[in-house]
Amino acid sequence: MNKSLYLFLTLALLAMTATGLQAGNPDRQGEAGAPELLMNPWARSAGLHSMTTSMVTGVEAMMLNIAGLSRISKTEVVLGHSQYLRGTGITTNAIGLAQKIGNNSAIGLSIMTLDFGEIQRTTTYQPEGTGSTFSPRFVNIGLGFSHTFENKVSVGVLGRAVSEGVEDVTATGICMDAGVQYVTGERENFKFGISLRNVGGRMQFRGEGLSQSIEIPGFDGDHGLVTNQRATSFEMQSVLNLGLSYDYYVVGNSRLTVAGNYTSNAFSEDQLGGGLEFSFNEMVMLRAGYKLDLGQLKTSSNEFNDQPLYRGFAAGATLNVPTSKKDNAPHIAIDYAYRNTKIYDGTHNLSVRISL
């Protein structure tokens, strides 16, 4: 019965992804909103350019492939901070909790905020500034569930609430993620994953900030009138990820993982990439990845504006140490990642992970 169930879920997801693949169109680039849905706040997966669809586990799975949420021992808590395009002053902060339920299931909660700092307020009549500042609020909250069947196939689903705005204008939306992971091999070496992310309705900005006061001249004097503008609605950043990875155990528990990933973007060029992760006894890990926009292969244009934001390389490291010499002792890990960008000084991620 379990095999039939997870086979059905896998086929259902594949049917959904087939529909999603038809939506990919680079001509629609720039038409979608909520770009923070594609900003990875977690350093471990960011060090491989977020190409860990097949192997991501725990809290970070809620960002890339919710199916991996249940592949934890008991409890995992992760705190993440990143400097997005270092030099802009934009940062992300995130916290995530994953909790095992029974032997094969897990639930998770993640919260991510985007901080733009204090921005100087300007008006048509005061273009140099009014002396006051404002700060946009970008927040998304995800709640997910994952289940593993016979330690081979994991499936998961996640709902995410998205909110953007300033004091008097806001936009809200809800989207869904779904994913599958398959693990096999003598030491669970081979992994395969599919995830469909950020599928939901349209968002639209609303609020008093879209109202405008105007004066209409008349024979008996000017008359005040308030008009309400209606902002155009927009879709969210839907993506489909397909990933493969294989673990080679070279000496004892030292591991070399080779990973590949394909991303189909509904509103930009598709992406293809791969990476390597070396682990020494799961205590010290080094990783590097390279990602390429497929549009770069179709054209010989070297125009700066045609180049992707993330230019190729990413790298990262992890130090993961137990709190005692006891078996199954809690672990504390520090993850760092750097991703090269075509402007500013790249994106830097730092995470602290506690595994119980």
Q: Give the per-residue pLDDT at 310.
A: 81
195 vs 236: CA distance, rounded Å: 16
Confidence class for position 21, pLDDT limits 50, 70, 90:
very low
Confidence band (pLDDT; 50, 70, 90) for 266?
Answer: confident
The yes-or-no verdict on residue 22 having pLDDT over 60 is no
Q: 135 near 115, Cβ under 8 Å?
A: yes
Whole-number Cα distances in Å, 218 to 211, 215, 228: 22, 10, 21
Q: For residues 181 and 193, is the Cβ–Cβ distance under 8 A?
A: yes
State the Cα–Cα distance between residues 195 and 58, nearest whole angstrom: 15
Query: Could you tell me which residue, 267 or 3, shows the higher pLDDT?
Result: 267
Which CATH number fits the domain 2-125+132-204+239-355, given the four candidates 3.40.50.970, 3.40.1390.10, 2.40.160.40, 3.40.50.1820? 2.40.160.40
Neighbours of 131 (CB within 10 A): 8
Percent share of the chain, pLDDT over 90: 58
279's CB contacts (< 8 A; 6+ apart) are 254, 255, 256, 257, 285
Cα–Cα distance, 155 to 133 (Å, whole number): 45
Give Cβ neighbours of residue 278 (< 8 Å, ≥ 6 apart). Answer: 254, 255, 256, 257, 285, 286, 287
**Who wins on pLDDT, 22 or 247?**
247
Confidence of residue 285 (pLDDT cuts 50, 70, 90): very high
The neighbour count for residue 198, using CB atoms within 10 Å, is 21
Residue, of 3 and 297, whose pLDDT is higher: 297
Domain locations in the chain as residue ranges: 2-125+132-204+239-355
Using CA atoms of 115, 120, 122, 127 in order, give the dihedral in degrees to the nearest 10. -130
Report the share of the chain in percent with pLDDT over 70. 87
